[in-house]
Structure 1
């Protein structure tokens, strides 16, 4: 009976994993962009780049000049100074003298019934000059001067409401950074692939675009005010559809953030992100949950069977299981590397095979803790 269950778990895990890897994640890994030359004559619509910042003096000092290097004719930058106690306000005053298209609004306090970042974003969007809003964070840098043009194209040219992009992290040599690269790419494989399958369910606020008019029409964060997170993924989860959304896969449309340097900082950040996941629609929870369950069944079955056949010295059966594990490992490595090249323009070091195994404990342990945790403050 025990051997039957191991084969059963292993078989179910193999089948579902192959569906995710080849049918779903393959949409991103083997994505082919379509060039639309007919769109070139459309007049460029104005864009507002919006940044909500709390004590981000050092990052804004670098970000603002970088934003004004963008090759796009009609855009401005709105920085919401959210209760900063550092030199942010003075920096913005100095920068506005240098960059006429830079604007700012200062928040001195947050009302009791709302959470800080949602209030900051809502105020910034309300006073934005343009209807196309492109969001990023203060510690997040565009990787190319075509970022605005590429990220806003689906909204300006194709009539979409949401444009969902990728935001990665700076590459460093630490084990933590390699895990961050892996987990970030796995998350992108989920929301890019389902988005390409006309079933979008999340986006990241470090690189997200939508229309101000839609934001105001649906009363934006209605029903989400009490949650610390979810200003990006839950907003997309509620309102994005296969018809009104586009996934932007282009190395010129990405941004790069500063990664956490310690495991403690990283785990706090991830707990906040994973905590928002419990508010996803049921069908979207199942998209992630089914992959993680099959991932666990695969490894539990594989390890159990190899131990059993190793002890019983049934070499042929042992080699069959090992062969399946190796085939899956090859697919995982191939898909991650291919997706990274499509999205970022290069394969990022991420210890794919080791981290794929570590994910077994990461999702079930940290996911369970985060699911039960109370909201974790933004800043």
Structure 2
């Protein structure tokens, strides 16, 4: 019993140290990050790419704020991917009013089925500019300065700009957890990028150079994976010298979250399929990070069941939580999620249960679709 107890305590201490390492060494990078000042001389032409499949209502709400960005020279490429909801008529009428709108239409083929990567590739080929900015049909820029801030990062060796796309605040437990999960995802990929280890990006708000896309052979190495047009491209092409991040409030792109548990999990299954194709070093570091969190709570629960040394259980839990609060509160403010600070102790525990559940279900779930 003594050896068993000692092994649990030692293992818990190791997990605590690992968790503190990720918070203090990795995540604190984002807490101290400041966006660079806008350089008015940087006005290179831009191309915005949006892939839309039966997104008529979202296009009606979000496309005009993108077309009317305060930027001197840009085009918006909308890839209408086999839509049957009247999107083609709406886009055709809108292109008459806005000359910077270009529409690429993909027609349904009875035998040829494709994913989003095919649509993105066609959109890129239709662009006339080197600097490409990506978002989705259900996304709306926080301001008309979005393009200026994203373009502002294309200096020196920069080829990839990782933006931030929060979800809108709505009522209910699911909305709060979706936003918390999005916060943790952004916290991780933005912090690692600042640490010089960029491993993913989110297609709702990111940018890269067209020349990088073609020199890296586009999505050729992972075209067989339906998802990953954003994170796998970054994982394959980003490095510490060519990647920057942008989280200025005016550069954020807001999106409407899923309103059902099924829709949320379906979205996450697609993303998880892409994660399996990450570089080995990235998969290893992320696996250790998640496992240390899962084991941290598992070992705490084990000690609670053993009903021994409550002071140890409480002190270990509160040390980790205190460090998280000190580091995360400034980040939550920057990422416009400060209301979530009150839910951190509960959602942090639920998050690891969610990760285990997602991993278990994905073993048996084989069919994944874009739309």
- The TM-score by the shorter chain falls in which range? over 0.9
Please name the residue that 1:358 is paired with.
350
Deviations 1:198-227 (A, max 9, x none): 110000111110111221222201121111
1:302 CA drift (Å): 1.9
Q: Tell me what 1:49 maps to.
A: 48
Tell me the equivalent position of 2:359: 367
Q: Could you tell me which residue of structure 2 aligns to residue 181 of structure 1?
A: 179
Task: Please say if 1:5 is aligned against 2:7.
Answer: yes
1:234, 1:276 within 8 Å by CA — same for their partners in 2? Answer: yes
Alignment of 1:189-268 (within 5 A): 189-268=187-266
For 1:280 and 1:371, locate their aligned partners in 2 and report how far apart those are by CA, in whole Å.
17
Q: Quick one: distance in 2 between partners of 1:153 and 1:165?
A: 12
Greater Cα shift, 347-356 or 255-264: 347-356
Matches within 5 A, 1:294-309: 294-309=292-307
Evaluate the alpha carbon distance shift between residue 152 and residue 90 of structure 1 in structure 2; reply closer, same or farther with a 3 A threshold: same
Deviation at 1:7, TM superposition (A): 0.3
How many angstroms does 1:16 deviate by? 0.2
Given that 2:225 and 2:273 are in contact with CA atoms closer than 8 Å, whether structure 1 keeps it comes out as no
Residue 26 of structure 2: which of 5, 24, 27 is its match? 24
> Is residue 2:119 matched to residue 1:120?
yes
CA positional deviation for 1:322: 0.2
Matched ranges for 1:134-173 at <5 A: 134-155=133-154, 157-173=155-171
Aligned to 1:318: 310
Aligned twin of 1:314: none
Deviation at 1:64, TM superposition (A): 1.6
Residues 205, 252 of structure 2: 8 Å contact kept: yes
CA shift at 1:148, angstroms?
Answer: 0.7
1:65 aligns to 2:64 (yes or no)? yes
1:348 Cα deviation from its structure 2 partner: 3.8
- CA distance in 2: counterparts of 1:112 and 1:332, whole angstroms: 51
Per the normalisation by structure 2, the TM-score is 0.94
Q: Secondary structure at the match of 1:246?
A: strand
Tell me, in whole angstroms, the C-alpha distance in 2 between the residues paired with 1:328 and 1:111: 55
Alignment of 1:68-87 (within 5 A): 68-87=67-86
Q: Which segment is superposed worse, 102-111 or 178-187?
A: 102-111
- Please state how far the C-alpha of 1:4 moved relative to its aligned partner: 1.2
Q: Which runs of 5+ in 1 are unaligned?
A: 311-316
Structure 2 SS opposite 1:169: coil
- 2:106 is the alignment partner of 1:107: yes
Matches within 5 A, 1:327-338: 327-338=319-330
- The equivalent of 1:15 in structure 2 is 17
Q: Deviations over 1:141-200 (max 9, x none)?
A: 111111111112222x33411101111111112111111111101111111111001110
User: What's the TM-score, normalizing by structure 1?
Assistant: 0.92
Q: Distance in 2 between matches of 1:6 and 1:240?
A: 39
Q: Which runs of 5+ in 2 are unaligned?
A: none
Distance 1:259-1:287 versus aligned 2 partners, 3 A rule? same
- Partner of 1:304, secondary structure, is helix
Conserved? CA contact 2:35–2:246, under 8 Å = no
Per-residue CA shift, 1:354-373, capped at 9, x if unaligned?
11001221112212432564
SS at match of 1:206: coil
Deviation track 1:215-268 (CA, whole Å, cap 9, x = no partner) reads 122220112111110100001101111111111121221111111111111111
Which of 112-121 and 280-289 deviates more?
Answer: 112-121
SS at match of 1:167: coil
Q: Partner of 2:278 in structure 1?
A: 280
Q: CA deviation at 1:340?
A: 2.1
How far is the alpha carbon of 1:114 from its aligned partner?
Answer: 6.7
Cα distance in structure 2, aligned partners of 1:167 and 1:119: 23
For the aligned residue pairs, the C-alpha RMSD in angstroms reads 1.8
**Corresponding position of 1:313:** none
User: Cα distance, 1:375 vs. partner?
Assistant: 4.9
